[in-house]
Amino acid sequence: MSEATPNPWRRRALLGLPLLAAGGAGLGFWAMLRGLGTGSYDPHGVPSALLGKAPPDFTLPPLAGSDLPTLAAADLRGALARPVLVNFFASWCVPCVIEHPQLMALKRQGVPVFGIAYKDKAADALGFLARRGNPYTRLAADEPGRVAIDWGVYGVPESYLIDRQGIIRWRWAGPITEDTVAADLGPLLRRYSA
């Protein structure tokens, strides 16, 4: 199209443009493929409608047999000492086992992790925590899974980060891995702790 461009260098640059564009697109695609592997890029992921909002209203019974207090919407409203992580889990869920060490590490760092046992029998959930350790400071039972529906949970494990003002800042569907902590959760905790 630019057959009559006078400056040969400009023409040369113009001819190199497609290569540059293809290279840039290639790099981007490569990053996407890498992200698909690590989970940081997910084209099918649906953002939570609750991001930037307060959690839905709910009250839940405590997990029978545990001596921990239960969790209700009131516990997540405003003026919290630190940001908290609400974690839906179940003893029958294999990825929850993968995620468990990271939750224990968070507990050691002093991050309050609140657990909601999703569609699980109290005895099974207690057995799970007894075998592997209990990362939770509050523990509620959602055996019918109603509250999970209100939160928009689409599978366990699933975690929500709530800042000190009681606003949901982050949702993670799937197990929290070391990479997730390093890349996403860690920075967010630092930001919202201030």
Partner 1 sequence: MIPELGHFALGLALALSLAMAGFGLVGAHRAEARLMGLAPPLAMGALLAVGMAFLCLVASFMVNDTTVSAVVANSHSLKPMLYKISGTWGNHEGSMLLWVLILALCAGAVAGFGRNLPSALQSRVLAVLGLIAAGFLAFILGTSDPFGRVWPPPMDGNGLNPILQDPGLAFHPPLLYLGYVGFAVTFAFAVAALIEGRVDAAWGRWVRPWALAAWSFLTLGIALGSWWAYYELGWGGYWFWDPVENASLLPWLAGCALLHSAIVVEKREALKTWTVFLALLAFALSLLGTFLVRSGVLNSVHAFASDPSRGVFILALLMLYVGGGFALFAWRAQAMAPTGVFAPVSREGALVLNNLLLCSVAAVVLVGTLYPMFADLVLGQKISVGPPFFNTATLPLAVPLVGAMAVGPFMPWKRARLWPALQKLWWVALMALAAALLCLALEGVRVGPALGFFAAAWLIFGAAADVAQRVGLFARPKAALGRALALPRAAWGGALAHGGLGVTILGLAGMGLAVDRLALLKPGESVELAGYEYRLEGVADAAGSNFAARRATVRVTRQGREVVTLHPEKRSFPLARMTTSEAAIHTTWLEDLYVVLGEEREGGVVLRIHDNPLAPWIWLGAGIMALGGGLSLSDRRTRVAAPAAKAAAKAAGTVRA
Q: Which residues bind partner 1 (CB under 8 A)?
A: 1-4, 8, 11-12, 15-16, 18-19, 22-23, 25-26, 28-33, 35-37, 41, 43-47
Rounded least distance, CB 175 to partner 1, Å: 18
In order of 73, 105, 159, 161, the CA distances from 114 in angstroms are: 12, 14, 10, 10
Rounded least distance, CB 38 to partner 1, Å: 10
Pick 36 or 130: Cβ nearer partner 1: 36
Rounded least distance, CB 8 to partner 1, Å: 7
In order of 59, 63, 72, 169, 188, the CA distances from 67 in angstroms are: 17, 8, 16, 29, 30
Pick 15 or 182: Cβ nearer partner 1: 15
Q: Is 34 exposed, middle or buried (0-12, 13-18, 19+ CB in 10 A)?
A: exposed
**Cα maximum dimension of the chain:** 84
Pick 9 or 67: Cβ nearer partner 1: 9
Pick 112 or 174: Cβ nearer partner 1: 174
C-beta atoms surrounding 33 within 10 Å: 10
Rounded least distance, CB 30 to partner 1, Å: 6
Q: Which residues lie closer than 8 Å to 121 by C-beta, 6 or more apart?
A: 91, 143
Pick 19 or 79: Cβ nearer partner 1: 19
Residue 139, classed as helix, strand or coil, is strand
Rounded least distance, CB 43 to partner 1, Å: 4
